[in-house]
Chains A and B, each alone.
Chain A
Amino acid sequence: MKKINVRSPFFLDVDAEESIANPTQPTQTVQVDCGDTYNTGIDVGNTIYEFSTQETGTVQINVTGNNVPVKFAVEWDGVEQINTGYIGLDSYDGELLSSGVQQAEINTSNPSTKNTTLTFNKTTSTPELVKVIATAPLINDDYSLVFNCPSPPVVVIDQTTQINIWFDNSGSMNSTLSPLQSMVAGNLKSCLVQFYNNDGAEYDKYVQIKQFAYERTFLVAAEPPLVQGATKCINIIFQDEANGVYHPNYFNDQIRTGSYDVDIVHLRNIFANNPTGYITPIIFQVQSTTEPGFKQLLQAVEDGEGRYSLGYGLEDYADRVKFYYDVESAVSYSSNPTYYRDKIIQGINDLGFSLTCP
């Protein structure tokens, strides 16, 4: 809608104005995101709504609105997937025809048909761009669009899944190593070996405890599948502190270290450039009375607090990484053999898997 501020001159340029015979108005492009609701009020002309999704599956756009007819078309991969024709109240048919719309394109009715759902199957992850083209040759009253993308796939464990259980062996939680080793060789194996064709050797090949002393949580979280034949990797990390590497003695969410920046950007790049499930970190913060800063760091990363947001946190990847806090250290395998195993299984299940261990 033009605004005419009459205390200043307002010029009508005869040659710049649109012809009445041509209902096409300047097209505006609007960027939206999956899950967004876009409300349009009085408007006329063409609007292209663009959003991107890596996921495959059903893309759904919910259309609600009043009476004035609008045509909605959905385009993906260069092909028009849906075209509603002009939907709305049939009393506007005459105006549509006058503005050059063909009768065959008019799908109006009484009551208005401008309440519908546009659905198509996005069969491949690329191209990611989906366009919804709204054509409104008449002055529109209003409509709303809700852009629903396919849900990301749940984490799947199969015989090409490498599972790394990372143990911080910098010294402060050494007593936890032994119970973890016992678990991996014991009841975790009994639970997960089914996914490796019940082949114990295959399980041992893909599921391993790895030790690291450099305390760079998000570097090991980004470890890719390295075992021959593995196509995806779950990195389960047990760690109680990262003092000096990721934060000073006391955590401050306005301060980031250089190592942290490098590691988090690397991990985010892997997330951005690979499908869900390629890398799945599950981070367990092991209790520590002397190092409260590590827990605060992880919470800041998870929630996007302070300077741990806007590309330097993981709040926008909540479906691809999980954090667990205050895990007890040195829980004896002999006295409580399921403690660490259940934590790991819970983490996997929270990512969408449904796994029950005996």
Chain B
Amino acid sequence: MATVSAELKLWVYTGNFGSRAATPNYTITKRKIPTESKIIFEVGELIKDYIEIYFDGDYQAVRQTAWVEWEITKTLSDASTETITGSGIALNGYGYFEDGINPQLSNGLLQSNTIMYVKSGDNPYIPIFTGGNGVFEVKYYTGTTLISTQTFGNSVTLLTIDTTSITADTTVYDASMTEIRNQSNQNTISNTVASGSPDRVVITDVNGGETTVNIYYIEECKQTPYRVSFLNKFGVVQPMYFFKRRDEYVDVTNESYYINTINRTATTLNYSLNSPSKNIFNVEAGKRIKLNTGFVDQQFNEVIQQLLMTDQAWIEEGGVAYPIIPITKSLQYKTELNDKLINFTVEFEYAYSEINLIR
């Protein structure tokens, strides 16, 4: 029986799965155009309006997903109706052209690099997906020694790897698993703590496929490393470090006008040498920084590409995550063959005016 029209009800919400409002966020009705074979709804942009991205530097408090449920009532050619439903989890990610329609991307590691450079003493964060067919186990190694294993429930989560604590981790695992296994989109993005200072993390999906992430702890003695966090291709906040030289700039703009400062009285005619005849107004200032990664693996071509294409990024300075915007517009891919040691330089501007203009 052919479908002649369809009504889509679309809910986008956060919290526990199923806790949707009675009224959908969108209700759309479409009729099949005679020249087309089927009815489709494109809902990506509609959903995007309701995904709140919140990051304050604390990976335990990051908000980056929303539940989506839809109900489609089809009217068939015999005037009967049929209702179909579906659901999913929405992320602020994107697929490349090569990824095809409705890109699902990775069901395990939610970052493209399997090598991480982390400032010595900091906790590495590894975003993984633990929904259906996602990750269920993560093993942490130091060298060849297995130091701990974690089993996960579902949804997307960020792992925190504690570089110092060793002994009290079992309790933390239990609490995290409980938290992850409820069906809240917010709670499932949580931090779990692993033990020791693992330099290798093996992520196993439910099909037994393994992904290994190697972690290098960098002790930078001369420069001050900065951690930049950005929404990557998979729609999750990913950290990366810039270990080397930092250049800072401030760009100021203003407008000006000339005034007549002449003093004219009955006895005098002059003008003050101390009063400006050119005045400025609308003074605005913005700061820019130029950061260098230090020497990294060539797989960071992809990471830098995603950084340049991000729509939200932050830099942590003095314990605060300030919003920044990558303003480097071009990336020449580098290879170890051609470039030997690979360093990336990326320029950012702060996503606010240096003069507080917020009213």
Contact = CB atoms under 8 A, between A and B. Distances in A.
B95 to A, nearest CB: 5
Interface string B67-83: 01010101000000011
A3 B6 contact: no
A4 B65 CA distance: 10
Interface string B127-160: 0011111101100000000000001111100000
B43 A12 contact: yes
A39 interface: yes
Contacts of A17: 72, 84-86
B39 A15 contact: yes
Given A6-B91, A10-B44, A12-B8, A38 B72 contact: no
Interface stretch (A18-26, A240-248, A259-267, A269-277): A18-26
Contact of B90 (A6, A9, A14): A6
Nearest to A33: B208
Interface string B45-83: 101100100000000000000001010101000000011
B131 A14 contact: no
A15 B102 CA distance: 16
Given A38-B206, A40-B206, A6 B72 contact: no
Given A12-B70, A40-B206, A3 B151 contact: no
Contact of A14 (B41, B44, B103, B154): B41
Contacts of B335: none
B132 A43 contact: yes
Nearest to B91: A5
B183 A42 contact: yes
B332 interface: no
B269 interface: no
A134 to B, nearest CB: 13
Contact of B94 (A8, A39, A44, A141): A8
A41 B102 CA distance: 23
Interface in B188-209: 206-207
A6 B93 contact: yes
Contacts of B82: 19-21
Interface of B: 3, 6, 8, 17, 38-45, 47-48, 51, 68, 70, 72, 74, 82-95, 99, 101-105, 129-134, 136-137, 151-155, 181, 183, 206-207, 234-235, 311
Contacts of B70: 12
Contact of A41 (B38, B104, B181): B181
Contacts of A13: 38, 40
Contact of A6 (B47, B74, B134, B137): B47
A5 B3 contact: no
Contacts of A5: 44, 90-95, 103-105, 234-235
Contact of B105 (A3, A10, A12, A42): A3
Contacts of B40: 11-14
Contacts of A19: 82-84
A42 B90 contact: no
A41 B44 contact: no
A11 B30 CA distance: 14
Contact of A7 (B83, B92, B181): B92
Contacts of B38: 13-15
A14 B153 contact: no
Contacts of A142: 153-154, 181
Interface in A23-54: 28, 30, 38-44
Contacts of B105: 3, 5
Contact of B48 (A3, A6, A11, A141): A6
Contacts of B152: 41
A7 B39 CA distance: 22
* Chain B CB within 10 A, most for which of A7, A11, A15: A7
A1 B132 contact: yes
Given A1-B132, A39-B136, A142-B154, A7 B87 contact: no
A139 interface: yes
A9 B131 contact: no
B311 A7 contact: yes
A66 B6 CA distance: 37
Contacts of A12: 8, 40-43, 70, 72, 86
A108 to B, nearest CB: 19
Given A2-B104, A14-B3, A19-B82, A41 B131 contact: yes
A11 B41 contact: yes
A10 B93 contact: no
A9 B207 contact: no
18 contacts: A1-B87, A1-B89, A3-B88, A3-B105, A4-B47, A5-B92, A7-B92, A7-B94, A9-B45, A12-B8, A14-B39, A14-B40, A40-B132, A41-B131, A41-B152, A139-B17, A141-B181, A142-B181
